[in-house]
Amino acid sequence: MKLFTKAITATAMTLTLGVYAHAQAEPMSLLSYTNETQAKGNVKKIYSEIKKTWGFVPIVIQQYSVNPELLQAQWDTYKTLGSNTNFSPKMQAMMRLLIADKSDCSYCVGLNEGMLINMFKMPFEEVQALKKDPHSAQLATKQKSMLMFILQSVNHPHDNTTKDIEALHKLGWNDKDIFDGVKMGTSMVSAALLIDALKIQKDY
């Protein structure tokens, strides 16, 4: 259960976090949303599941309460992708950092730098080197190859070929894994756009 929870948490970071720093005087979002104390019915049930799993309900998730059906769908997506334990949480943190850095997403850069340094004990210099050159990632060949493929899928999607897929297959990744990886990477990009469009404030 702990492994499952850790995987879900890593996936949630992949799908939801990407926002610039804003002044504290600004509202938490351009749109209203249902907070934990206001939640009722299925929204309250989902919030309860999220809090039990992650320990808190991020404002990014609370924003989805504007459309409870999408809130449910988003939470189901987190759980589904989070159940794929073939992805190293460290690799996912690297992936999030690199996508965030490419997008100048200061919220995610700071968060994932902190995770790599504090959770995965990466030296600060190694993290900075990673940002300069993703190929410097200290990962097993299988995880590093997936990292590079996800980054290519996000930054240069037209470059993907059948040879890339075949190479991943040879390393033990199946089609579901590859799809999940691309979903994690591209979902983070779309989430960052949504967060910036609604000017959702960071809540940590």
What pLDDT, on a 0 to 100 scale, did the predictor assign at position 25? 55
pLDDT, tens digit only, all 204 positions of the chain: 555 566 666 666 666 554 444 444 568 899 999 999 999 999 999 999 999 988 889 888 999 999 999 999 999 998 998 899 999 999 999 998 999 888 877 767 787 898 899 989 999 999 999 999 999 999 999 999 999 999 999 999 999 999 999 999 999 999 999 999 999 999 888 877 887 888 888 776
- State the DSSP string of the chain: -HHHHHHHHHHHHHHH-------TTS-S-SS----TTT--HHHHHHHHHHHHHHSS--HHHHHGGGSHHHHHHHHHHHHHHHT-TTS-HHHHHHHHHHHHHHTT-HHHHHHHHHIIIIIS---HHHHHHHHH-GGG----HHHHHHHHHHHHHHH-GGG--HHHHHHHHHTT--HHHHHHHHHHHHHHHHHHHHHHHTTPPP--
What pLDDT, on a 0 to 100 scale, did the predictor assign at position 201? 81
What pLDDT, on a 0 to 100 scale, did the predictor assign at position 20? 43
What pLDDT, on a 0 to 100 scale, did the predictor assign at position 15? 62
What pLDDT, on a 0 to 100 scale, did the predictor assign at position 104? 77
What pLDDT, on a 0 to 100 scale, did the predictor assign at position 92? 92
Domains and their CATH numbers in the chain = 2-82 (no CATH), 89-197 (1.20.1290.10)
